[in-house]
Amino acid sequence: MKNVEDTNSQDILSEKKSYIKSITNSKFLMTLIRHNKHNRKGVVDVQFNWIFVMIAGFVIFLFIISIALSQKHNAENQMSIDVMNQITTLLNGKQQTPNMYSEISFTRADVVFTCDPSFNLFSFKIANAQPIMLPVDMIFAPKQVNTNKLLVWSQPFTLGFPVGVFTYVTTPDAIILIYNKSATSTYANELFTDLNITSNISHEYMTDENDYSNFARRTIVCFNDDANPPSNSCPIAQNYDYIKISPAAPASSSVTSLFDYGTVTFHKKGSTNADKSSPYITKAGLYGAIFSNSNDFYKCQMSRALTQFEIKRELMQTRMILIQNDLPDESDCRVTINETLESEIMSMQNPVLSPIDITNLYTQSNQLDIKNTYLALYSCPKLY
Amino acid sequence: MIYHNQKNNKSRIRGQVQLGETTAVIIIVIILLIIGIVFWNKISGSNVRGIQTQSQELQVIDIANSVSELTELKCSEEGTSPVKCLDWYKILAMAEVINNTDNKTAFMFYNNYFKNSKITVVSIYPEEKENITLYDAHLANATSLLISIPVHIEDYLKKETSYGLIIVEGYYNG
């Protein structure tokens, strides 16, 4: 009986033990599971924090980079605007002061000069900045240059009375090569001497073009000159770009001067198209053709110049009519002014860049000079 | 069991508090950024307005200087006097051509020089003549800056010299 009781009590004990053991085990397991869960949560937390930090850092990094880039862009734009303002001031200043030479330096950039013939508008821009319009300035320049310095020179454009000022823009790496192979061209000497006196622009008599390879832009100027045999007047057409100047002989005079009027021909080597020609008038006009070195650009600027000429002519005509009306009927001054109005001023109306109109402008402007001197001699009000 | 529930609740509350903190920080940063941007815009805007007004005033001075330098108005013979000389008949001719309502070419051309301004020539001595308006951009509702330049006015017909003023009124949106 006692044995049976012992056995029972042992069984209960072992059952209790196994129960306790199982409970202990499950508790341990639970703890383990909980621990694992906790650990995983911690790992996820840590990973999320890192991802958050990385994303935030990347966004901040992008923000700083974008600020730096926009600052750089703004600084470049500001610099372009500053340079463009400086150039504008210089070019505008030249419009009021003929026979002036000046230079402007800036950080190397592409400078583009544009003349739009359909709107008669001139503009220039630096690099990718917005172009600046110069609606009244008559500027002759190459279409595009990459430079850190511009040389600016000006000449008065006068057709009897002052019309305006032509401004010429070039770069230090440009040279005017005057072709004078037989050394007999009077026009070549005339141009060389004038450039010597009036400007600091690089110019030489052309011997061999290769001697000037340190100049990026070389403008060869040659002449249709009776003193030169035709074979010597210009370089070999297949090898060179050049500008051929053919001064005209005024009907009233046997002597032709280079700076009166004539025709300029722009020759491009290797071009299948025929050479383009345009008439020129006065020294200012001739230099316009040489400095622009492009028939289209030259024609566009000359067309703008002739538009301005028409406005100035109209002003002059109105002034003369007003003076004429205030003069006594029988006065000599009135007769001369009336004559000038009818024969010169009226006939110069609305000129275009054609050989006929240019010849007429040259003749009438010379007559105006004569009449002006006459009026001054007879104590009449001068024309200009 | 109760212990575990309490622990879970605590950690959830802690998580919620952390999330709230993060959100608050983000909101504060955004508000600060917005305030900064608004402030920056206001400052740069007022700077731009200041520069604009200054440049418009300079433009008026520039116009005043250029008028007296125009060859279309200047006397045939310039003397040595520092006072500019204008030809009376050139003034009359220019006023007539620019104010010609049938042909606006001259007005458009001189608009490039005179921009938004009104230019008047006044003869003061020896006798006051009527004012001659050379150019008027006719801008209403705009403030103006007025500049006067003393000039000689030469009448080559009567051979008389009078003294006068070029008055330049520059219109701008101040």
pLDDT 10s digit of each residue in chain A, 384 long? Answer: 555 566 666 676 677 677 666 666 666 666 666 666 666 666 666 777 888 889 989 998 999 999 999 999 888 888 888 888 888 888 877 666 788 888 999 888 899 999 998 888 899 998 778 899 999 999 999 999 999 999 999 999 999 999 999 999 999 999 999 998 777 788 899 999 999 887 778 999 987 767 888 899 999 999 987 666 666 688 887 888 999 999 987 666 666 789 999 999 999 987 778 899 999 999 999 999 999 989 999 999 999 999 999 999 999 999 999 999 999 988 999 999 999 999 999 999 999 999 999 999 999 999 999 999 999 999 899 999
B87 touches B76 (CB < 8 A): yes
Residue B48 pLDDT = 80
Q: Which residues make Cβ contacts (< 8 Å) with residue A155, sequence separation at least 6?
A: A98, A99, A165, A166, A168, A198, A283, A284, A287
Dihedral angle, C-alpha A331, A337, A343, A349, nearest 10 °: -150
Q: Searching chain B, which residue's CA lies closest to the CA of residue A310?
A: B106
Number of neighbours of residue A250 by Cβ within 10 angstroms: 16
B90–A315: do the CB atoms touch at under 8 Å?
A: yes
Which residues in chain B touch residue A384, judged by CB atoms under 8 angstroms apart? 76
Mark yes or no for CB contact B109/A34 under 8 Å. no
What is the tens place of the pLDDT at every residue in B105-118?
999 999 999 988 99
Q: What local confidence, expressed as pLDDT, does residue A85 receive?
A: 85
In Å, how far is A319's CA from the nearest CA of chain B? 5
Confidence of residue B12 (pLDDT cuts 50, 70, 90): confident
CA B4 to centroid of chain Cα atoms: 77
A311/B156 touch (CB, cutoff 8 Å), yes or no: no
Does an H or E element contain B172, and which?
strand B160-172
- pLDDT score, position A165: 94
* Token pair listed for B23: 């959100």
pLDDT of residue A351: 96
Any idea of the CA torsion for B23, B26, B31, B34, to the nearest 10 degrees?
Answer: -140
Q: Is A156 on the interface with B (CB under 8 A)?
A: no
Residues on chain A touching B87 (C-beta within 8 angstroms): 319
- Whether the pLDDT of residue B1 is over 60: the answer is no
Query: HEC string of B64-80?
Result: HHHHHHCCCCECCCCCC
Contact B89 A316 (CB under 8 A): no
Are B89 and A34 a contacting pair at CB < 8 A?
no
Beta bridge partners of B132: B121
Task: List A residues 323-352 in contact with B (Cβ-Cβ < 8 A).
Answer: 323, 326-327
- The better pLDDT of the pair B154, A52 is held by B154
- Kindly determine whether residue A319 and residue B89, on different chains, have CB atoms separated by under 8 Å: yes
C-alpha triplet A211, A141, A204: angle, nearest 5°: 25
Tell me the pTM.
Answer: 0.80
B107 touches chain A (CB under 8 A): no
Q: Does A318 touch chain B (CB under 8 A)?
A: yes
Are A96 and B97 a contacting pair at CB < 8 A?
no
How many CB atoms within 10 Å of residue B93?
23
B42 pLDDT above the threshold of 60: yes
Between positions 9 and 48 of A, the ones with CB within 8 A of B are 34
Q: So what's the pLDDT on residue A251?
A: 65
- Between chains, do A96 and B69 touch, taking CB under 8 Å as contact? yes
Q: Specify the pLDDT at position A228.
A: 63
CA dihedral A20, A24, A29, A33 (to 10 degrees): 120
Facing A318 at nearest CB: one of B69, B71, B96: B96
Q: Show residues of chain A in contact with B96, CB under 8 Å.
A: 318, 322
- Can you tell me the distance from the alpha carbon of B159 to that of B174, in angstroms, rounded to the nearest whole number? 44
Give Cα separations from A213 to A233, B93, B120 (angstroms). Answer: 22, 54, 56
Locate A83 and state its tokens.
């340079």
